[in-house]
Amino acid sequence: MFEKEDAKHRWVVYIEELFDDDSRSDRPADNSEVEGHSILESEVKAALRSMKNNKVRGNDNITKEMIRLGGDTGISKLVIIMNKIYESGYIPSANEGIYLHNDS
């Protein structure tokens, strides 16, 4: 298992890398009072394409290959989770788990 702070740091790094491109230059520097852009499936797919294959698992034990095995449906569900975390600012602990209903 990994610590809560490690998980938070990993999400922060991931979100920063995901939004580190010129196509999002119109977003405000401070999101505290302005709603930010949602994470797009196309951005997640582009991030996956840019990652190298067969890399060692991180603290979350998830590899690029695992995410890709989920196909478009898995990526869609991942984007839902990521946007809920991004919009709420709440990062669930490893012990909580994340559950999606079929209507999500």
Higher-pLDDT residue of 52, 5: 52
Question: Would 12 be classed as within a structural domain?
Answer: yes
Q: What is the domain extent for residue 56?
A: 4-88
Question: Would 103 be classed as within a structural domain?
Answer: no
Question: Would 95 be classed as within a structural domain?
Answer: no
Q: Calculate mean pLDDT across residues 14-19.
A: 70
The number of distinct structural domains making up the chain is 1
Judge whether residue 14 has pLDDT over 90. no
Question: Would 28 be classed as within a structural domain?
Answer: yes
Q: Calculate mean pLDDT across residues 70-98.
A: 83
Q: How far is 93 from 44, CA to CA, in rounded Å?
A: 22
Q: Calculate mean pLDDT across residues 37-54.
A: 90
